[in-house]
Amino acid sequence: MSVRRKKILFVDDDVDLLELVKQLMTRFAGDSWEVLTASDVSKAMVLLQQRRIDLLVLDIRMPLVDGLQFLGLLRRKYPNMMKVVLTGVATDEHRAACLNSGAELFLEKPRDEGGWRAVYAMLNELAKLQPEEGFRGVLRRVGLQDVLQMECLARNSTVLQVRAGEQSGAIYVNQGQIVHAEIGGEIGEAAFNKVLALPGGEFELRTWAEPSQKTITGSWEFLLMEAARTRDETSSAAPATNEPEIPFLQREDTALGGESPTVVPVLGGAAPDVDFSDDTSPAMGDRADDSLRPQVEEVLICSLQGEVLHEWQCPNTTGRVSFLEFISQKARQLTQHLPLGTFDRLEANAPEGRVIAQIQPERALYLRVSRVRGDADAEGRKP
Amino acid sequence: MKLLINQWFEQSVPFEGIQACCIRHIDQSSVSKTWADGFDELALDNAMRCISDVYQVLQFNKIPPGRLRWVYENALLHCERRSDGACLGVFTLRDEQSFDREGLARMFAEFQSLSTKVSL
């Protein structure tokens, strides 16, 4: 019986290093790995389109496209693919940022063959793990928009050829600027929007060729934003889907002096218990002080595909979704070979309050609760 | 400090409902003890490696890193990190009533106060 060779993709702008890595890893792994390399993000994206990659190893310090941005994109589009950062700059700050963005491992580039052998051993162990259904358990295909964005960020010159059924179109990117689009008889921005709105089909990146004319002058950021807005408008006009309803309760917020009513979400059945009385942690401060009561400061609920379903006073929704993804990933890793059962939630308790990250089969919740003086006590403290 | 922490860990007395515990030091070495089936040394070391990552990411997200409690279907994992980076993880039974909460609190208090004992 033949065993499928693991496909390991290394992404680094240092071509000499890639060559060395390919030689070493092929020697260490023998027939068990197929080692692929890409010297920039665009080339990596094309390979990801064409092949089923088991493990991607990337440098985070690459010119033009930030490795962290790339990690974020990979997590969205290839949730079950394992990602490892291999860098020459192994600071704690970089490490935390990479883990937070979905990297399974953060490794320092070795300086000798023994070091590379150790890296191989770690990657090989990781590659053996079966991908699990996790936070973003639903695999989503990489979109034309994502590839286009990466091409623009990388300031590449390329032609995106798109085909969907009988229709065929092209988008021309010159040094990171979208300069022309055509589909059928249409050209310019209308054609650009039409190409991006194609419901399916396939696309490929072709070598740059000068278009017959230049019909687009706007910034690519604006163009992509407009295209997304158009798509959203189209989808919102469609019949409503089964969105969860989140009831609201109005109450007087004493912390704000009771000047204006504050709308606080009530998470019927979704939120875990936030009773502070069960805590035995010294980090929670004086337990005897029963006058302290929990007050919800921030709520975010998202689907397991990372779509925000509801947020309340959340200063950084993207960051919170990333955090929930990270906790989901770690909760699964943590339970490996331990008889813990299904993960429900993480509670982080500190003197300031409590943060709860709950991962349920259908959605994830981020809840931040602070401890404030109770109403009676607050009244008594008024001058 | 690592030696002192390990000595304390060796001598620490189990409390009712504890299933396993593990310490991971800043140098990535770890020590563990188990009282229940299924909690082997390698798996506990892997769990504590995850916990170390989590503390780093909590800091990155500006979430105060105090006591962590991981709630699973069959068990709870309670964790604390000392200022010198050493992490203690304690696995207990899932039900709040089925483990000695005072024993757990005592264990964490001792773990956190070890440096004070040295300075005295």
- For residue range A196-230, what is the model confidence (pLDDT) as tens digits? 887 666 777 778 889 989 999 888 877 887 777 77
Contact of A75 with chain B, judged by CB distance below 8 Å, is answered with no
Within 8 A of A95 by CB-CB distance, chain B residues are 56
* Contact present, A320 and A286 (Cβ < 8 Å): no
DSSP string for residues in A245-311: P--EEEEE-GGGTTSSEEEEE--TTTSPP--GGG---GGG--TT-TTEEEEEEEEEEEETTS-EEEE
The C-alpha atoms of residue B49 and residue A95 are separated, in whole angstroms, by 14
Tell me which residue in A326, A344, A351 faces B72 most closely, judged by beta carbons.
A344
The distance from CA A298 to its chain's CA centroid, rounded to whole angstroms, is: 21
Q: Is A275 left (phi over 0), alpha (psi -120 to 50) or beta?
A: beta
Contact of A319 with chain B, judged by CB distance below 8 Å, is answered with yes
pTM over 0.90, yes/no: no
Instruction: Flag if B69 and A349 touch (Cβ within 8 Å).
Output: yes
Measure Cα distances from A349 to B54, B56, B79 in Å.
Answer: 14, 15, 10
Percent of chain A with pLDDT over 90: 25
Where would I find the beta strands (DSSP E) of chain B?
18-24, 30-34, 67-72, 75-81, 87-93
- Predicted confidence at residue A31, as pLDDT, reads 87
Instruction: Flag if B67 and A284 touch (Cβ within 8 Å).
Output: yes
For chain A, the first-to-last Cα distance in angstroms comes to 81
Contact of A314 with chain B, judged by CB distance below 8 Å, is answered with no
Q: What is the pLDDT of residues A150-173, one digit of tens each?
A: 777 767 788 888 887 788 899 999
Coil, strand or helix: which one is B16? Answer: coil
pLDDT of A296 above 90: no
The C-alpha atoms of residue B71 and residue B59 are separated, in whole angstroms, by 21
The distance from CA A38 to its chain's CA centroid, rounded to whole angstroms, is: 21
Tell me which residue in B64, B74, B75 faces A350 most closely, judged by beta carbons.
B64
Shortest Cα–Cα distance, A120 to chain B (Å): 19
The C-alpha atoms of residue A83 and residue A62 are separated, in whole angstroms, by 16
- Predicted confidence at residue A136, as pLDDT, reads 47
Shortest Cα–Cα distance, B3 to chain A (Å): 24
Instruction: Flag if B65 and A339 touch (Cβ within 8 Å).
Output: no
**Backbone angles phi and psi of B49, in degrees to 5:** -65, -40
Coil, strand or helix: which one is A212? Answer: coil
Measure Cα distances from B111 to A32, A302, A315 in Å.
Answer: 45, 37, 35
**Residue of chain A whose alpha carbon sits nearest to that of B44:** A338
Tell me which residue in B61, B68, B74 faces A341 most closely, judged by beta carbons.
B74
Contact of A330 with chain B, judged by CB distance below 8 Å, is answered with yes
Contact of A18 with chain B, judged by CB distance below 8 Å, is answered with no
Within 8 A of A90 by CB-CB distance, chain B residues are none
Instruction: Flag if A331 and B96 touch (Cβ within 8 Å).
Output: no
Tell me which residue in B71, B74, B108 faces A339 most closely, judged by beta carbons.
B74
- Predicted confidence at residue A231, as pLDDT, reads 65
User: What is this model's ipTM?
Assistant: 0.94
Q: Of the given ranges (A224-233, A351-360, B2-11, B46-55), which has the lowest mean pLDDT?
A: A224-233
Instruction: Flag if A281 and B108 touch (Cβ within 8 Å).
Output: yes
- Predicted confidence at residue B47, as pLDDT, reads 94
CA–CA–CA angle B48, B28, A87 (5° rounding): 100
**Backbone angles phi and psi of B24, in degrees to 5:** -115, 125
Token duo for residue A207: 């070598």
**Residue of chain A whose alpha carbon sits nearest to that of B74:** A340
pLDDT of A94 above 50: yes
Instruction: Flag if B80 and A349 touch (Cβ within 8 Å).
Output: no
Highest mean pLDDT among A89-98, A124-133, A156-165, A246-255: A89-98
Instruction: Flag if B66 and A343 touch (Cβ within 8 Å).
Output: no
The distance from CA A268 to its chain's CA centroid, rounded to whole angstroms, is: 27
Tell me which residue in A280, A341, A351 faces B72 most closely, judged by beta carbons.
A341
The C-alpha atoms of residue B58 and residue A274 are separated, in whole angstroms, by 19
- Predicted confidence at residue B87, as pLDDT, reads 96
CB proximity under 8 Å: A 268-307 to B: 272, 278-284
pLDDT of B100 above 60: yes
Instruction: Flag if B112 and A282 touch (Cβ within 8 Å).
Output: yes
